[in-house]
Amino acid sequence: MPADATPSIVVLAAVIERGDRLLVTRRLKDTHLSGYWEFPGGKCQPDETHEQCLARELREELGIDAEIGAEILATAHTYADRTVVLHFRWCTLAENPTPLLGQEMRWVTRAELRSLQLPEADRALIDLLTGVSPPVP
């Protein structure tokens, strides 16, 4: 990696929908983008598949087992200190999630997503979920 390149981090995020609401959690204090809302998930370890990563993260963060479904979108975003390669996957829960790390958790409508402070890396997913077409370059 060139000296001026930012490290690349692979992140998996769960898009969990119940009825007309999506599950979001708030990033903890003293974390990258603390206070921002996000879809639950986290960093993929080098020895994990995407499915293993997301299943592990959901157990650690929300105490749940989930059926990991199809990828909705893969996107990358470069922040000042890192490049995040995000893979959003549909997930189905058999039980109710419980925030185990002290994080806030909410079920929101697709329209409400636009009023939340979400990471810039989530913009393409939010546009997709809310039916907004991206601008033509």
Inform me whether the pLDDT recorded for 65 exceeds 80.
yes
- Residue 135 within any structural domain of the chain: no
Q: What is the CATH number of the domain that holds 107?
A: 3.90.79.10
pLDDT at 45: 96
User: What residues make up the domain containing 53?
Assistant: 8-127
For the stretch 73-89, pLDDT in tens is 999 999 888 899 999 99
Whole-model pTM: value is 0.89
- Residue 134 within any structural domain of the chain: no
- Residue 132 within any structural domain of the chain: no
Of residues 118, 121, 126, 125, the one with CA closest to residue 9: 121
Averaged over 6-29, what is the pLDDT?
94
- Residue 86 within any structural domain of the chain: yes
- Residue 136 within any structural domain of the chain: no
Query: What pLDDT band is residue 1 in, cutting at 50, 70 and 90?
Result: very low
The domain total for the chain is: 1
> What would the two tokens of residue 63 be?
């105490």
- Catalogue the long-range contacts made by 43-51 (C-beta closer than 8 Å, 24 or more residues apart): 43/9, 43/10, 43/11, 44/10, 44/11, 44/12, 50/12, 50/87, 50/89
